[in-house]
Amino acid sequence: MAKQRTPEGPPPQPPVQKLRIQYARRGRLRYSSTRDFGRALERALRRSGVPMAYSAGFHPHPKISYANGAPTGAASEAEYFEISVTEQVDPAAVAAALDEALPEGLDIVTVVEARPGSLADRLQASRWELRFPGVEPAELETAVAGFLAEERIEVERMFKRGMKSYDARGPVEWARTGVAEDGCAILKMVVRHTTPAVRPDDVLSAITAATSFAPPRSPIATRLAQGIWSSETESVADPLATD
């Protein structure tokens, strides 16, 4: 057994506070991936001087955990992550400093101090809006009605371990069509978080499978909210409300 090396110098400072942060991914930056955001965030944390806590060892990493990122290409008003810091900080000041340091389009919405309990457990469902440029609102309405009439619709997607088939209808709690102010056909829906996660493009595949609906281009998806699902009010509640 080789002797283990340990880094010289003092151990890293312990975390004293955990922050939960909601951010938005807007405009052309919706093409950034969760990994892209991670790099941008670490750099923004360093530029703005947030007293980040690091892991120990030869390859220290900032203590950041990401939750349930939206797929690349989808915009989002409600992405979440948690960070640990080595000094007590004012969440509002961190929000302002981080927002300033992040590129435009990656915007901090709110920062709160974490109370006990897991953030991931509270992210039970997402509310989405899909814009369909070039689609007649009536056509979309018919297609969505056809989709909702089914109980189960299997879709397939390529995963790291190969193609997987799963139900993209069941997790959709509700779906309503409408017309945006600019006349564009839109679909709003709430999708419960299941494994594998049902994404907006899965729902579109399911609609197509059920009704042969085929939009001229992919819709632009925006996650408007994610959080605690209430079947009574049929709504998605703020996951940071109890922090």
Partner 1 sequence: MSGETIFPALEPLLEKVSKPIQYVGGELNSTVKEWQVGGHGPGGEELTVRWALMYPDAYEVGVPNQGVMILYEVLNERPDALAERTYAVWPDMEALLREHGLPQFTVDGHRPVGDFDVFGLSFSTELGYTNMLTALDLAGIPLHSSERTDEHPLVIMGGHASFNPEPVADFVDAAIVGDGEEAVLAATDIIGEWKAQGRPGGRVEVLRRLAATGGVYVPAFYDVDYLPDGRIQRVVPTESGVPWRVDKHTVMDLDEWPYPKQPLVPLAESVHERMSVEIFRGCTRGCRFCQAGMITRPVRERSITGIGEMVEQGLQATGFEEVGLLSLSSADHSEIGDVAKGLADRYEGTNTGLSLPSTRVDAFNIDLANELTRNGRRSGLTFAPEGGSERIRKVINKMVTEEDLIRTVSAAYGAGWRQVKLYFMCGLPTETDEDVLQIAEVAKRVIETGREVAGHNDIRCTVSIGGFVPKPHTPFQWSPQLGAEQTDERLHKLRDAIRADKRYGRSIGFRYHDGRPGIVEGLLSRGDRRVGRVIEQVWRDGGRFDGWSEYFSYDRWMAAAEKAFEGTGVDVDWFTTREREEAEVLPWDHIDSGLDKEWLWQDWLDALDETEVEDCRWTPCFDCGVCPQMGTDIEIGPTGKQLLPLTVLGSGKESMVRS
Residues found near partner 1 in the complex (CB under 8 A) = 2-3, 5, 7, 9, 28-29, 31-33, 35-37, 39-40, 42-51, 54, 58-60, 72-73, 87-90, 93-94, 97, 101, 103-105, 217-218
Type of residue at 189: M
Q: Do the Cβ atoms of 197 and 126 come closer than 8 Å? A: no
CA distances (Å), 36 to each of 2, 7, 74, 97, in order?
37, 29, 14, 20
Q: Kindly tell me which of 33 and 230 has the beta carbon lying closer to partner 1.
A: 33
How near is the Cβ of 178 to partner 1 at its closest, in Å? 22
- CA–CA distance, 90 with 113 (Å, rounded to integer): 9
The 3-state secondary structure of 7-20, one letter per residue = CCCCCCCCCCEEEE
How near is the Cβ of 181 to partner 1 at its closest, in Å? 18
Q: Kindly tell me which of 72 and 142 has the beta carbon lying closer to partner 1.
A: 72
How near is the Cβ of 106 to partner 1 at its closest, in Å? 8
Residue 207 is inside which H or E element, if any?
Answer: helix 200-211
How near is the Cβ of 136 to partner 1 at its closest, in Å? 18
Q: Kindly tell me which of 5 and 160 has the beta carbon lying closer to partner 1.
A: 5
Helices (H), ranges, 90-152: 91-101, 119-122, 137-148
Q: Kindly tell me which of 46 and 152 has the beta carbon lying closer to partner 1.
A: 46
- CA–CA distance, 224 with 235 (Å, rounded to integer): 12
Q: Kindly tell me which of 36 and 141 has the beta carbon lying closer to partner 1.
A: 36
How near is the Cβ of 195 to partner 1 at its closest, in Å? 25
